Structure 1
Amino acid sequence: MEEGEGQAPVVGDAEAKARVEGYVDRTLRRDPKTRFILDKMEEFGCAVNVDKFFTVEHCDASIAGGFRPKSGVVVCQNHVQTQEEVDNLLAHELIHAYDHCRGKNLDWNDCQHHTCSEIRAASLSGDCSWLFETLRGNFGLKKQHQECVKRRAKLSIAMNPACGDCEEQQKAVDDCFDRCFADTAPFDRIP
């Protein structure tokens, strides 16, 4: 999500914004995964001012949120409904922020760079947890986590013009998968 993609407030959004801001606040105070990633970012020299780094906005795009390298994480108040979604979303976007912090030459317009971060975020955030996969109607047992990570990464890079068409996106995921899936930093293993 690029700078300025949020839209003007919509009637009734004040309640949604307040509700989602409460979810974000609770995640930042209580979610151990989120706290851990923030602590690791600080160790890398990328301390986050949570009051400025996280914003809640109405978004036109059908996304739950995004990472903006120059300003932080946006949460789309009109596309998240539960505390669990916000917990997962912040962990996902903070993996991107962590990657941006540690990868001094990371270029979000380079499809390989973006794909690797999406693979890591899908794997490490909880995007592919059994609960979320079940809610999506995905019930596979064999390598379900890996298949979910590939599917979620491809969905995310599809919004990046640098990643080309569907065939090029699949190639990017296939080319990056083994290396990026194996990279569980800042965790010792997939949480």
Structure 2
Amino acid sequence: MADGTDSVPSAKGGMTVDDCETMIQRSLRTPTVKFLREHLEKSGCNIASNFIRAVSCNQRMSGGYVRGEGIVVCSNHLTIQDEVTQVVIHELIHAFDDCRAANLDWTNCAHHACSEIRAGHLSGDCHYKRELLRGYVKLRGHEQDCVRRRVMKSLANNPYCSPAAAKDAMEAVWDTCYNDTKPFHRAP
């Protein structure tokens, strides 16, 4: 990742780090983000004021969570408020998982897959309107197909997970993790 001081939008599009920081501040006022932050704190995970920050990323990604560092939102790969808020929600679910699971090991394909399943399912990443905008049109089963596709895409970036190990891990934990809706009472 590049450092977050660049305030010029990338040649590929996106927004400036400063504009993204403004959008992050707006996302912090949304009900879902407030809810997740509250539950992180109730779980004993304090969130510093710089826990979520905008940066310009070298990799083609929207954002990420790193244990002990927090959440980065990749300004140069996002263009609108909804995208920023979606990344914040997705990554807060990873932070929540990391906080509540004393032994979560991000190098373990099954652990990583579980958190990705939960984040994809609970964040709204795979809402049918988002899928339609991505060019995926399916009337039935679109949400689970989307979650599976996005889990595999994320696990492909984990150097500890071969494609076969990633698929096996996702299938092994699917039912348990897909049905785990904490801290929500049910999937939003």
Give the TM interval when normalised to the shorter protein: over 0.9
Structure 1 length-normalised TM: 0.91
**In the TM superposition, what is the alpha-carbon distance from 1:7 to its structure 2 partner?**
4.4
Listed as ranges, the gaps of 5+ residues in structure 2 are none
Q: Which portions of structure 1, spanning 4 or more consecutive aligned residues, are displaced by more than 4 angstroms?
A: 7-11
Range with greater deviation from structure 2 (149-158 or 168-177): 168-177
Higher helix share: 1
Q: Deviations over 1:95-114 (max 9, x none)?
A: 00000000011111111101
Distance 1:12 1:161 in 2: 31
1:170 and 2:167 matched: yes
Cα pair 1:73 1:93 within 8 Å, conserved: yes
1:99 and 2:73 matched: no
Listed as ranges, the gaps of 5+ residues in structure 1 are none
Q: Deviations over 1:55-83 (max 9, x none)?
A: 11111000011001111000111011110
Range with greater deviation from structure 2 (88-97 or 172-181): 172-181
Identity of aligned residues (%): 40
SS of corresponding position for 1:138:
coil
Distance 1:40 1:11, change over 3 A: closer
Distance 1:16 1:181, change over 3 A: same
User: 1:6-155 counterparts in 2 under 5 A?
Assistant: 6-7=2-3, 12-13=8-9, 16-29=16-29, 31-49=30-48, 51-155=49-153
Amino acid at match of 1:133: E
Structure 2 length-normalised TM: 0.93
Other-structure match for 1:189 = 186
**In the TM superposition, what is the alpha-carbon distance from 1:184 to its structure 2 partner?**
0.5
Range with greater deviation from structure 2 (76-85 or 13-22): 13-22
